[in-house]
Structure 1
Amino acid sequence: MMKNSKIEESIRLRYLATVISVFLALIATSVIYYSYIEHQQGKFAKKGDELKEHYEVVEAIDSTLNSMILRGRGYVAFNSGTEKLMLDQDIVKLGHQITDFKELDLNSKERKFINRLESFYIKYRDDILPTTVKSMKAGDAEAVEAIHKDYAGSVINGELKSTANFKDQYHKHIHALEAERLEKSRKDTIISSMFSAGFLLLLLPLVGVIINRIIRPIEELEKATEQIAMGNAVQLPKRKTDDEIGRLTHSFRKMVETIRAKEEDLMAHNEELMAQQGELEEQQTKIEESLCRVKTANDSLERLNKLNHHLTFTLDKNELCKIFLDFLNAQFPFDRSIFWFKEEKVYASSNVTRQVVDTLVETGNNVNWIRLHEESAYVIKRASNPEETGFAEQAFDAYDLYCSVLNADHEVVAVFAATRLGTPFSEYEIDEIKGLMSRMGLAIGRIYLYEEVEMARLLNLDIVQNINEGIQLVDMDGSMLQYNETLEKYVSCEGFAEWRNRQKISYREWTDIFLKQCEQPEELAAYFAEAVDYPEMEDKSFHYEIGDRHMAVYASPVYRAGKRVRTLLVHRDITKEHEIDRMKSELVSTVSHELRTPLSSVLGFTELLLTKDLKVERRHKYLETIHREAKRLTNLIDNFLDIQRMEAGKQDYQMEPVRLSELVIDVLARFCADQNHKIRIIDETIHDSILGDAGRIEQVFTNLVGNAMKFSPGGGEVEIRLVGNEDHILIQILDHGMGIPESELKKLFTKFHRVDNSEQRKVGGTGLGLAISREIIGDHKGEIWIESEEGIGTTVSFTLPLEKKHAEWQTTKGKVAIIEDEPNVAMIISEQLKSKGFPIIHYCNPLHFCEDVQKTNLQLDGVLIDFSTDDEVNGWELVRVLKSNEQTEHTPLVVLSTPDLDEEKVRAYGIEHYLTMPCHPSELEETLEVFLETESAQ
């Protein structure tokens, strides 16, 4: 009974029990209905899964049956073993599928279908197919056709149609079951919606009861609260219930009575607080004024501290002018102001026109310099001008202040000028500004002193940086304090670049860099240690090598007040002196060797001619030897004189148009007698005319080709290649001789330099040929370089500018070979072919060309052979090789022959174009025209 009364008296418990009951009923109903729906859906799902399983098996049977029938027909039609193999696979697969279907839960109709299909399957497998196979193997086509007409055709088509129909029935059953399931779900959804709507209708009475019993009493309390807040009297209704609302109303009534009882006390206390508030506001005003004055003083002090900092540390005059003027404008009220250096014309201004700046700073007008020097500050009172008056109704006074900055010699170095409109300068302000000018004078004096010191420092630094010696200043412990750029260039190490911002580099760091690159690390380390450690070091230097430089270093102690405090190390590049010494030694060695040999021959053979009675032939041979050795001596002396004139800039050149191809052919003719070396020219240029000295360019070719042959003592190929572009021509001389070590490549163009190699030393020479060639090519605005690999060969390349630019510069057709040792004839043929776009391969000796045809895959568009100046046997041997080679047997061939050319061989080898030499140039040109037309037609 007690429990029930508590529930009735508690709103929360009463309505909570009601809501819980309603929701429990809703949950129970929902669970029951949901279980029913799940059961129905489960039945549909189970039935659908069974249908889908049956359908998938029947679909597989239908697919396999169609494939089996198709393979069988393909086998019958084409007697294909592949089709028979795939047919057997389908038969096995269909058997397994029939077995799988029979294992399912089947109805009578399904069992009837599968039994009929199994009967057909067994009949086809065991009867029809074996009979068909047997008939086909026997070649009895009529029997095969009869089998398929009598039975197989109709039965097979019937089974295919029956299986397809059965599969379609399954498909329809699945769709019907799905439609039934959807209809059932729609009905369940409608029932659920109706149930939810009914539940909401049941909740409406409960909501109405809550509004009447809870919301309305709360609204009455809210209105009473508003009335109390407005100071109105309120009479609350008495509630008989003893629930939460009743207790809340009773408590609110007691609160109202207590507030009314204490309202008078609060009013009296409020009047006292209002009086105290007036006193506090008056005190607050005084405190704010004091704080404002303190803040102003602090701001002024802070600005002054910043100014002192800038006056002490700022070294830039422009920056110092701006900072000082900004401080004055913030510290004192000015309408216009300017501060400038008298001599440097450096200034900062505020609200000053450009015209006024030019008047004050540039010319110094409007400034009383005598008064400014004597008084250091003065004020001029004047009437305001119309521009200053502006929109004021009447004119007023303006005040101009001028104040000077004096240096230690009491000279004016800077001036401050300011203008006020309508307000004079007070004595206090002028004294303050004069005091600031004195501080500024100290700062300017410090700047001038710094500039003098910095100028002296930069002068010393420039002297140190621009001398040719590398300089190091090291401390007593060996740490490097300073070095110049020359030393960095000598050592050429990244470590020096990283040390530029460091004040001290340890002894180990900087010595490691030297020792890693030096050729004598132990001796150099000992020298550095002695230079740093010993107080009194003998005046001696040390020579070392670093990279390709030869260096000399000496140490000099630095004293202060009679005590050694530093050590100065001076590094001097003595590479040139070393090279001069080396060249002197090379010159003496070369001259003594190269001159002694021909002189010995001249003296020896001359003595024989003078002392012995020799036969005429022997005497003639000795005279030829003497003449050859004398020419050799002349060439040596000419080389010495050439290199001397070139280095002195006194070499004269006869500049005229020169055809390089003609010059190269002439040079080649000089070396044709050498049977050990196979020399060829590959000319791929159209335009090869340069502006140069023909004799000197010929000297370059002679030197380079001679070197290629000289340093290929075992014989081999020497190739001269000409390649052009629009404004330059590239010439390359390639050999397959001894090659040059990589370490020697940079020194090859040095005078008297010869490769330090025992094999190379066996070859004679002065070491001047390449040096002379480089000078000649350089004077012709060209470049020369060498690429080589030891034991493989060497390529010397150089470029020369063409006489004029050409849009078309390179040949575009296949190569044509010319075998001709007569330069003039070779030149005519070459020009004709090049003008038609054919690159040229030129040989002197037919046997050399014959070797290339046999050993290499030459792609040729034509061959021209001269039988008239060489051994005819070698010429016919070349023709035989050309006609027997698959690559060249159909290549067009022109023969330049002697009058007694063997006609039988001409017919036998099918030579269509030949000329009897000597012939007229026009006749040669006509033959080449026919040859070129024949080639173009092919």
Structure 2
Amino acid sequence: MVTQRQTLTGKVTAAAYRLMIAFAIITVAVTLLVNRQTSRLDERITGQIEQLNRIQDMEEVFNGIVSAFRGYAAYGRGEFLDDIGSNKSEYQAMVQRYANSYGSLEGEAQRIRELQTLNSQYWRVLKNAMDLKTMNDMKSLNELSQNQATPLVRSIEREFDLLINQQRQSVSDLVQQNKSINQMIVAVPVLLFAGTGLIAFLLIRYLRRHVIEPVHQMETAVARIGQGHYSLIQAPGREDEIGRLISGINHMTQELQDRSEEQERNLRHMRDQHDELEAQNEEIQAQQMEQEETLAKLTKREAELSTINLYQEVLTGFTEMSHFLEKAIPALLDALDQDAALVVMDRRGQGTGYETVYASGYPQQGFAMNHDGLFGPAQRIFSEQQPLFRTRELSEAEAGVHGAYRKAFDQYYPLADEQNRVAGFLLLTAYASPAAAQDNVQVTEGLVRQFALALFAQLAGEERRRQSASLELLNEELLTEKQLLADQRDMIQQVVDSIHEAILMCRSDGHITFVNKQASRLLSQGLHAGSSVELLYRQLESGGAAAEAVRHQLAANLAGEAAEYNEQFAWSCGSMVRYYELYMNTLQEKGHENRYLIVFRDRTEEEKADQAKNEFVSIVSHELRTPLASILGFMEILLNRDVKPEKQKKYMETIYKESHRLSNLINDFLDLQRMESGRQVYMKVPLDLGSLTADVCAQWQGKEGHRLLLKLPDRPYYVLSDADRLTQVLHNIISNAIKYSPHSPDIDVSIRLEGDQCYVDITDYGLGIPEEAKANLFTKFYRVDNTDRRQIGGTGLGLAIVKEIMEDLGGGVTFVSRFGEGSTFTVSLDSYQPQSVSGRIVVVEDDENLGRLIGATFENRNYDIVRFKTAEEALLGMEISDGGPPLLLIVDIQLGGILNGWDVVSGLLEQETWSSAPVIVSSVLERPGDYLEKPFEKYLQKPFTVERLLELGQSLIGQGAPQGNIVLPVQSETAVKEAFAEKGIPIGDLQVDNDYMKVDLQAGGKDPASRTDPGQENE
């Protein structure tokens, strides 16, 4: 029985062994097969991604060719042709490599052949288009672009899209297969565990407790893992296969849990990046709103200037004061959106009687025309000579017919004559919108000044005519009036002839009754008063389709179909196209046939300006988008693809370079815009040209393998200039010298003085400048079109900025160049000669008039005067002075340079032998609370009289050298005497003042400084 049990056990054992061996073989085979299939799928996925990258690179290069062709078609610039050539070669090579690599694959050969066929067709169209551009046949070029080029581009883009979609679908299918295989890998351990449990169940029952139950626990754990719940199996402390298997499952559970947490962290990181992008988008929108606000301000300012110009035209051509006022005042009210105006003049010029010469918009009842005296704002306007503004309640008569007005805003403006004497005032009142009137004060003041000038000119003219009438006989008066009428008629004719618009007047039958000179010059030489409008019609018929349409509409209007007409159109005059704006109005006269006024305004220059502006915007957009496109493209690759570390570094370097290029480009645009708009502020101070040039050269020394050979003079050469802007000029020129001399390492920089001019010469031995490019070298966005320069970067703004800066600084920039041998750029500035201050009265004042007045005051007393506008000039004068101290220093605190008046005083005190020089500090500010006057330093607050300044200056000069007195803060007399005794300083008389004690030093003691810090004496 035992033997049978043992035999059965052996069979069971043998069968279990066979099952286990077979199961192990199957498991190993499945695992190897799955691993092999996984490796193949990984290789295929990598190949498909590489294929997709090649297709995207080809599409990016092709888009660059299309963009360069469109840029060349729009602007005709040579660099676009360079881009087409280089990109085309690269694109063809990429297509051929792709065909060689993947042309034999199923589904790829047909797509590649279709793409190559479309490419060949596009190259032929591109060549024809460039030929048409060379012949300047824009019409044929546009038709070719619309009918052939654009459809081909779209077809090629569709082919690229199909290839990309096909590759993406292949990658997606492979990834799905990989997922399926991974699921099979997860199922293999489960099958292994189940097979082991079955064998164990068949082998021995009692193994259920030691094998089956642990396997059941492991199966439960795996199921929970499949459901996303990660929990570890309690290890029984076994070291056999079951124990190691439980440890493996626990390890796998831990790994899966770690990967899940890592995926959650990646998801949170992506959300953070999304929030950051949204913040950047909000910042860009804020910048756009700021630019729109700036544009609104510029538009408002342009409207204000237009209002002033239009009002100036109203103020001319009047012979009578009444006519002048009847036209000028209503026009002023309309321009300023005011409701009422009042002009009051001083009758006798002595402030004893006033007359209301004109009033409009005020109630008439109780309105006095003559005033013996004035009060309130009307009286203050004569004494203060400044505009006054008041808000008041309306009277019952001023409330209006609807009674809706409650308050009025009165504006009093003084009217000053040629001697700047206030001879009257203008009162403007706004009832409906006081707030609007307050916001428009700047324009109001400008228009009031124009009105005052015209008013006094009119008064002066009337006064002259009255004097002439009183001296001449009646016959002479008649002749004079006749002559005046003739002159006025001639003047009107001259005014009309001098108008830039072409003006003609005709009747409805086409008979021309008036033609000015501009009409004869611009429209037709044979057009004159008395000719027929048919002559104009024939001119319009030959001027193109737009002019022909205007001709038909003009004829219809003259036939009575419309009373007014306004049209802008292009007029072809031979090979030249001009742009006109046509106005037509009907002039109705009672008892006479209607006449028609036709005005042609030549707006060709405006059109050119608009075209130039559009071209500028286009160029700026292109220059900004080019680096931005590179940045976005590489960032998209880094965000959406797994890129190797070396490629990541290369892409990041490209992004950094393009960002730096974009920043420099924006800075150049902003600098040039500020300079051209006149908003660039320059701070001119004395500069050592040699020292500044040496600092700039040191920054470029050794850059790109170049060596700067600097030749400096043996003494300082000073110029009066802005240090930052002059440094920018030298940086731009040296940068160009290095860029355009790639094979010549030496750059010569020298400084020379000729007469009163300082020159900086920067010489390179590089490519040189072609003759045809020299005239446009300082033009914005201009770059030399040459094969040697295609790889050299730049925007064409550097030399334009240099020219603007040097012209604003009062200097110049020139160049001499020979093509292929190099160039020399020369920067010139007026030389500045420092002035010595020794023994002279030094006036440091940035106000030209005040400085001249102070200098003249002391020059009349036979003093030698030297004047400076900035603290830097004064300090330089002190530095080069080798004599004694200045006789007197008069310094303003607020100066135009970087330093202020306190720096000048400090510079004076730093000279040991000059510390006793007398100083007058002048300023509009109150005396600082911590400032204490000294015997030789006084504080004079503006405004002051020249008599007071002269008296104070002469008193300081007359005091001579200090007597060795020390001024101390008030303290105990005993303590002061003990302090001097401890220092070994004998003292004499001690006088107590309100705030100080004055101590006389006796001979033989120590000689302290005549002016010391009170805090030091306290020690």
The question of a shared fold, defined as TM-score above 0.5 by the shorter chain, is answered with no
Alignment TM-score, normalising by the size of structure 2: 0.27
Q: Quick one: higher RCO (CA 8 Å, sep 6+), 1 or 2?
A: 1
Query: Counting helix residues as a fraction of each chain, which structure ranks higher?
Result: 1
Alignment TM-score, normalising by the size of structure 1: 0.29
